[in-house]
Structure 1
Amino acid sequence: MTKPTLTLDEIRKNVSRVDSELLALLAERRQLSIEVAKSKIQTEKPVRDPAREKILLEKLVTAGKKHELDAPYIVSIFHSIIEDSVLIQQAFLQKLANPDSAQPIARVSFLGPKGSYSYLAAKHFFSRKQTTLAELPCKSFKEVVEIVENGRADYGVLPIENTSSGSINDVYDQLQHTRLSIVGEITQPIEHCILTAVDTDLENIDCLYSHPQPYQQCSEYLRSLGDVKQEYCSSTAEAMQKVAEMKSGNVAAIGNASSGALYGLKPLKANIANQQENHTRFILVARNPVDVTDLIPAKTTFIMSTAQDAGSLVECLLVFRNHGINMTKLESRPVLGNPWEEMFYVDVEGNMSSEEMQKVLEELTSLTRYIKVLGCYPIENVSPTEIELD
């Protein structure tokens, strides 16, 4: 057997050296992204250029072959780098468009103690903005909203829909009555695990603790466990706290593995959601709306109530089609106190300040009994540019 020319320690040192060089290069590339954003202000070019991204990826794949790097590996890495570049540019441009909202510390309310999915979404969102969080955990969605309304928090983070369990109706009902504006969004991967405080086996678990949403999102796996009791908590983080305090081999929590580690919990079973691609979309609410520069893609959310006549809703939806506005979400909720009357929540891709969206709002105002814009905010879900792989 041929002896290696380097010892394992020497190889590891070289790996660490290369990793350090990669980090320095990534930092340099991120700084160059800011310079790109500055130049786009002068040229009034949009942040995203799909044709340019496609050419870039194709060149990188070709160059990677010379280094014996396969195409999927190259594309996966640079999808992440391009996403980061887009979001960094958007955050920079939004700071310029909203100088009064730029602050080094943000007071943020969210559901559950530290470690909840709302907490993770808040951390993720503000890490992109290089803003420090002052965390304000809440016991209900209503409290999340009220704390922002009374000025104790600058922002509130609310989950609004999940790819597995659908819309979160409690949040839509809060939006119907609040004075707050939606100022941002983030889509967070949801990775549910069975978490325990002590070493045990699955067959020993007779009681689970979690928020109602994870129970819905993991219903297929939970049926396979048989007669296991389900206890409801106000958040996944509260469930983790309870299981950590019990230190029993018979109980477990459903939640995120990294959050569980905050409470000394270990994953007993991972990937238990009904869908492998399980994501939750969160919105960010604040007392004042934000301006969205026309250099970045924007989304507008509003609520409307139509006449109780046949075809009333269809007439409203045709307004979007006639103006070439893409509707991404339509949700109905009952109007409290008015039996059989529905309030419709609508998400569209469009900037409220644009001439086209102003025409849409004007037409909808004449067709509806009630309409209110809940917010216009940057789209932060960066769809990857696809290329053909050999």
Structure 2
Amino acid sequence: MTKPIAIQGIKGSFHHEVAQVYFSDKAEIVECMSFDGTVNHLLNGDTDHIVMALENSIAGSIIPNYALIDTHNLSIVGEHYLDIQHNLLALNGQSITEIKEVHSHPMALLQCKVFFKKYSHIKLVEAQDTADVAKQISDQNLKGIAAIASKNAAKIYELDVLEESIQTIKHNETRFVIVKREIQITERKELNKASLKFELDHKRGSLATILNVMSDCKLNLTKIQSLPKIETPWKYAFFVDVTFEDYKDYEKASSIMQLMAENFKVLGEYKNARL
């Protein structure tokens, strides 16, 4: 029996949209109001897969999610890039001049800030989840309040789209990863991307040496994120993504890095979604 997919947010959220595209539009969904909640469902065995946003082309990395994957020894088995389009939603028949407040996630409000400069009468209010605001407007028949959410949310909760694509930077993309408890067995020929974590001392040339190994082994570094180790001053953990054409090149680089770096860990091997 196929278990449901756990997501952060509710139906109509961008995580829900990714789950529909990556798995199936008929996939059963477990709605969670936090990333910790989605991970707990995975650890408890309520689900075999979770969808988790990892970075945004405007806002950068969602660092706590890297820590969640690492701390719980989870495995990234896939990824999906979603073009994030923010839309202004309200009850049927409402006009933007009737809207007094717009409720949405702080990040969505920030990304649409320039649009609302034209509407000084509208108060911006932070909320926990974009789609949840849309649901509340629909369920409670809230007049004078609008949400910033996806067109999918408008369809699910039967709201009007007052304005489309209101984000300041029109090309706004988020990278989502598919996470499981254990490594997924996949044919090597299908694998061309990996997420790795390792630690280095704060010494001159330590990071450059590792990067040279990647380059010499024909790996392409697509992402690097450093995090200080709080319990060990001046020591850093690095989260990196690499792509490769030949799995043998990646295998060779991994074996060398494992010897050179401390606490080397493979967070996931999967197919690059940006081909």
Contact 2:201 2:234 in 1 (8 A): no
> Going by fraction, where is helix more abundant, 1 or 2?
1
Q: Helix, strand or coil for the counterpart of 1:319?
A: helix
Q: Helix, strand or coil for the counterpart of 2:209?
A: helix
Percent of matched pairs sharing the same residue: 27
Which residue type is aligned with residue 145 of structure 1? V
1:126-149 CA distance string (max 9 Å, x none): 13xxx9522111110111112111
Query: Could you say which residue in structure 2 is the equivalent of 1:121?
Result: 18
Query: Could you say which residue in structure 2 is the equivalent of 1:86?
Result: none
Q: Is 1:376 the equivalent of 2:269?
A: yes
1:346-381 CA distance string (max 9 Å, x none): 000138x93322221222123222221101011233
Name the CA shift for 1:157/1:336 in 2 (closer, same or farther; >3 Å): farther
Structure 2: gaps (5+ residues): none
Q: Is 1:362 the equivalent of 2:255?
A: yes
Query: Could you say which residue in structure 1 is the equivalent of 2:49?
Result: 155
The normalised TM-score by structure 1 is 0.65
Choose which of 146, 149, 154 in structure 2 pairs with 1:260: 154
Distance 1:231 1:310 in 2: 47
Q: Is 1:237 the equivalent of 2:131?
A: yes
Distance 1:288 1:357 in 2: 20
Q: Helix, strand or coil for the counterpart of 1:295?
A: helix
Q: Helix, strand or coil for the counterpart of 1:152?
A: coil
Name the CA shift for 1:182/1:195 in 2 (closer, same or farther; >3 Å): same
Contact 1:111 1:137 in 2 (8 A): yes
Which range moved further: 324-333 or 213-222? 213-222
Name the CA shift for 1:198/1:299 in 2 (closer, same or farther; >3 Å): same
**Deviation of residue 227 (structure 1)?**
6.2
Query: Could you say which residue in structure 2 is the equivalent of 1:46?
Result: none
Where do 1:170-209 residues align within 5 Å?
170-209=64-103
Query: Could you say which residue in structure 2 is the equivalent of 1:16?
Result: none
Name the CA shift for 1:301/1:223 in 2 (closer, same or farther; >3 Å): farther
**Deviation of residue 244 (structure 1)?**
2.1
Choose which of 190, 196, 208 in structure 2 pairs with 1:296: 190
Choose which of 221, 224, 249 in structure 2 pairs with 1:327: 221
Which residue type is aligned with residue 166 of structure 1? G
Q: Is 1:287 the equivalent of 2:181?
A: yes
Contact 2:192 2:247 in 1 (8 A): no
Where do 1:204-219 residues align within 5 Å?
204-219=98-113
Structure 1: gaps (5+ residues): 1-103, 383-390
Distance 1:223 1:173 in 2: 36
**Deviation of residue 116 (structure 1)?**
0.9
Distance 2:229 2:157 in 1: 41
**Deviation of residue 291 (structure 1)?**
3.0
Contact 2:73 2:181 in 1 (8 A): yes
RCO higher in structure (CA 8 A, sep ≥6): 2
Q: Helix, strand or coil for the counterpart of 1:277?
A: coil
> Going by fraction, where is strand more abundant, 1 or 2?
2
Larger radius of gyration: 1
Which residue type is aligned with residue 356 of structure 1? D
**Deviation of residue 271 (structure 1)?**
0.9
Contact 1:198 1:248 in 2 (8 A): no
Q: Is 1:277 the equivalent of 2:171?
A: yes
**Deviation of residue 296 (structure 1)?**
3.0
Contact 2:109 2:126 in 1 (8 A): no
Which residue type is aligned with residue 363 of structure 1? I
Which residue type is aligned with residue 333 of structure 1? L
Paired residue total: 275
The normalised TM-score by structure 2 is 0.90
Q: Is 1:139 the equivalent of 2:33?
A: yes
Name the CA shift for 1:222/1:160 in 2 (closer, same or farther; >3 Å): farther
**Deviation of residue 123 (structure 1)?**
0.8
Q: Is 1:111 the equivalent of 2:111?
A: no
Query: Could you say which residue in structure 2 is the equivalent of 1:317?
Result: 211
Which range moved further: 220-229 or 327-336? 220-229
